[in-house]
Structure 1
Amino acid sequence: MKTQPAQLPQLLKKGLSPVYLISGDEPLLVQECCDLVRKAARDAGFQDRLTFHADHQLDWNSVADEFSAMSLFAERRRIEIHLPTGKLGDGRAVLEQVLKEPPEDIVLLLISARLDAAETRRKWYKELQNKGVHVPVWPVDADKFQGWLQQRASSRGLSLTRGALAILAERLEGNLLAASQELDRLSLLGNGSTIDEETVEQAVQDSSRFNGFELVTELLAGRAPHAGKMIGILQQEGENPLGLLAVLTRDLNLILELKGTSAQGENPSAFLKKRGVFQPQRARVIEQAARRLDRKQLHEAIELCSQIDRAAKGFDDLSPWHHLRNLSVHLAGRT
């Protein structure tokens, strides 16, 4: 079955399904839906967790072995599989087999980028619809972002003036993950009082010398030398690479979409405004990247983002910053 994120908590109260698919390009909302499933599974006794990343390094036979193996001492397990491209590839046959008769001692959580349209026509997806739950996560519309921001602030006990809300909305450009982080910082600065324009401006001034937004701009523009310097500074300052990675992955997927719509004759500016890109500089960088980079380069860049994600979560011997430097060179069109 398919359900909306807002309906997921109530659905989980009725009992667990053997498989959940959470898909979308909004990392914050995807993460929050996943956390709801994880908590419900833990509460039901599924304590152990095993995680796989479906990149070119994954051996799907090892995934199949985990589902066919008998759990020692009848332990219940959660198996999570990250699908960074929204495609299963070699994993389709494995999931088809698993979904025919899902094991009773395993809850499967599939975490995907926006699901590739072709995948929804595959046999495995139809089996999932019959046996489990798909939660598609859609971006917050640009005209609803301020309302989302206000609601999010209220849930943290924050009160924002209209001017503060407008400044935040313009600066954050619809990025929900960055918005959540910014509200966390403002909750410390505000100390229970109303957040006004001056407080927001002070928070901006107190931010790091370089931030993830600026680095993403340099990466997409192909300015590898300057991007490399910024990467070094952000690494020294202890920046979490997952925050900027979420922004970068979103924009790479947006560039891929833009290339498709431009080929069909749609105006790039109109498309970007429809997707919530209003700042001229960011729109210009995205349009230029769409002209400069071909589809193969973009798909390879998204694959590199998956490596960065793995490294940041401890699944790689190399630092995520190492892979990020490689990505800067790749997006500059160098080998």
Structure 2
Amino acid sequence: MDAKKALKDIQAGRPAPVYLCYGLEKYRMREFIQVLMDSLIEPEHKEFAVSKFDLGEISLSAVLEDAETLPFMVPKKLIIATNALFFTGAKESTKVEHHLDRLIDYLKSPAEHTVIVFTVDADKLDERKKVVKSLKEHEAAIPFLSLTAEELQQWVTRQAQKLGFAFTGGSVDQLILYTGGNLQSLSAEIEKISLYVGNGGTASKETVDQLVARSTEQNVFILIEDIVNLRLERAFVILEELLKQREEPIKIAALIARQFRIMLQVKELSKQGYSQQQMASQIGLHPFAVKVAEGQARKYEADKLCAIMSQLADLDFQMKSGKIDKVLGLEMFLLRLAA
């Protein structure tokens, strides 16, 4: 089952007795659980109606015993059980013993007064396990995977519309680039922008540039984008800002090397017919970052990318051995790259 269908059933007053929420998109997962809680539990009942368990410390049997116990002073209760690693192929470090057959039996006759939500931060479940098969048969497993680049752009646009303003002229992509596509960060920045532009206002690229904070990693990402598109002046302004923030040139060079390594990986995977979503999963990146890297990689042949990686390795050695001034070495590399 997908989250949209599950939410529709919840809002229609038909929640399932058990949900397994998995995936790396924690923001959407938290949103889903909040909607479920608001639909199921009255605000004044939350203290008695909501229980939380960490399955790294508490056994599955204890969770199910609580589920089967009648609620106290409330008509329904919600149980949230986190760190349910036993649904995945990951090796558990905990010594807590979980009897998974107990959950399979529970699914056959779940308590009518309880809704259980299991959560696990993993993008895949172990499909070989009987308990996972059973949950899927009951349409209880809901994936919360990273949005594609297009879905992310639509999500940002919708969030702005809800707050009564609009983005213009490529500012959506710029905002996503500055936040790395993290929904929690995006949500906070969109709210900040909405307060700045006001109801009915518009946010331009300049607005995003002025208001949105960027991490070192994101600044390096943008610096590479500027170099690739021959916006040298802007690239050197970003480099100067990083150095003013006392960022270590060796660290900046390492982050540049990481981005070119990603570009090379994306180029090779693209040749093999991988989609952006598949590449994101393979490399461990957000799909939007893959989309940008794919665009950057088109400007270079694979041999050129390998040569750049070799130059960066040489620069790293020279910096660490004191054979070149770190800042000068970095600036000279960027100039050669642009040339």
The Cα shift of 1:101 comes to: 1.8
Aligned residues: 230
- Comparing 84-93 and 166-175, the one that deviates more: 84-93
Show the 5 A alignment for 1:28-177. Answer: 28-42=27-41, 47=46, 48-55=49-56, 57-72=57-72, 75-83=75-83, 85=85, 87=87, 90-91=97-98, 92-114=100-122, 116-118=124-126, 120-131=127-138, 133-177=140-184
The Cα shift of 1:149 comes to: 1.9
Structure 2: tracts of 5 or more residues without a match:
222-261, 298-339
Counterparts of 2:43 and 2:203, CA distance in 1: 41
Aligned partner of 2:8 in structure 1 is: 10
Q: Which of 289, 297, 303 is the aligned partner of 1:277?
A: 289
Instruction: Give the number of the structure with larger relative contact order, counting CA–CA contacts within 8 Å between residues 6 or more apart.
Output: 1
Counterparts of 1:35 and 1:10, CA distance in 2: 14
Show the 5 A alignment for 1:231-242. Answer: none
Show the 5 A alignment for 1:151-300. Answer: 151-192=158-199, 193-204=201-212, 207=213, 271-272=282-283, 275-278=287-290
- Change in CA separation of 1:197 and 1:44 when aligned onto 2, cut-off 3 Å: closer
Counterparts of 2:198 and 2:74, CA distance in 1: 49
- Change in CA separation of 1:130 and 1:74 when aligned onto 2, cut-off 3 Å: farther
The Cα shift of 1:51 comes to: 0.5
Counterparts of 1:269 and 1:134, CA distance in 2: 24
Counterparts of 2:15 and 2:69, CA distance in 1: 21
- Change in CA separation of 1:183 and 1:109 when aligned onto 2, cut-off 3 Å: same
Counterparts of 1:212 and 1:66, CA distance in 2: 46
Contact 1:22 1:34 in 2 (8 A): no
The Cα shift of 1:21 comes to: 2.0
Provide the alpha-carbon RMSD of the alignment.
4.0
Deviations 1:89-108 (A, max 9, x none): 74323422322321122111
Contact 1:167 1:200 in 2 (8 A): yes
Counterparts of 1:128 and 1:76, CA distance in 2: 22
The Cα shift of 1:61 comes to: 4.1
- Change in CA separation of 1:107 and 1:64 when aligned onto 2, cut-off 3 Å: closer
1:10 alignment partner AA = K
Counterparts of 2:6 and 2:38, CA distance in 1: 12
Contact 2:17 2:116 in 1 (8 A): yes
Counterparts of 1:149 and 1:73, CA distance in 2: 41
Counterparts of 1:102 and 1:83, CA distance in 2: 21
Structure 1: tracts of 5 or more residues without a match:
218-254, 284-335
1:51 alignment partner AA = K
Contact 1:46 1:75 in 2 (8 A): no
1:25 aligns with 2:24: yes
The Cα shift of 1:197 comes to: 2.2
Q: Whose radius of gyration is greater, 1 or 2?
A: 2
Contact 1:45 1:76 in 2 (8 A): no
The Cα shift of 1:183 comes to: 0.4
Counterparts of 1:46 and 1:116, CA distance in 2: 34
Could you tell me the percent identity over the aligned residues? 20
The Cα shift of 1:78 comes to: 1.0
Counterparts of 2:286 and 2:74, CA distance in 1: 51
Contact 2:40 2:76 in 1 (8 A): no
Counterparts of 2:170 and 2:203, CA distance in 1: 10
